[in-house]
Amino acid sequence: MSTPVVHLSRRYSFSASHRLYTDHLSFEENEAIFGKCANPNGHGHNYGLTVTVAGPVDAPTGFVMPLDTLDAIVRRDVLDAYDHRYLNLDVEDYVDLVPTGENIARRVWERLEGDLGGLLRRVVVDETRNNRFEYPAI
């Protein structure tokens, strides 16, 4: 009998601000592309983050992985770095990268994949009720 594989998804949240702009474009070009999100003072979101891992169910515990282990990894690798930060200035991930929802999802994945290894399956970033970014894309 094969060992069952189960997906485990856990939700988190963090608050952060950012500004969508690039130094490669003029102020007017940034404003045309990014609209009000190019405001020089930035703007903030209360982000939702869903992390999905998958693996065999451990027979003795019945877990893919203990929730407190997953929570500790996400807290250390992502939440402690991103929560209540101005992403453009406070987080090294975005020094040369526009902190769009797409890039946030990719960077969160990169931060987690070292500690979650082959278990990590998906990262979902909810920027607003209407904007959701999933990595990797299906």
Among this protein's residues, is 127 annotated catalytic? yes
CB of 8 within 8 A of CB of 65? yes
Give how far Cα 55 sits from Cα of 31, 64, 65, 84, 117, Å.
44, 6, 8, 32, 11
Among this protein's residues, is 24 annotated catalytic? no
Active-site residue, selected from the candidate residues 37, 102, 113, 134? 37
Among this protein's residues, is 31 annotated catalytic? no
Active-site residue, selected from the candidate residues 29, 43, 84, 110? 84
- Residues recognised as catalytic: 37, 84, 127
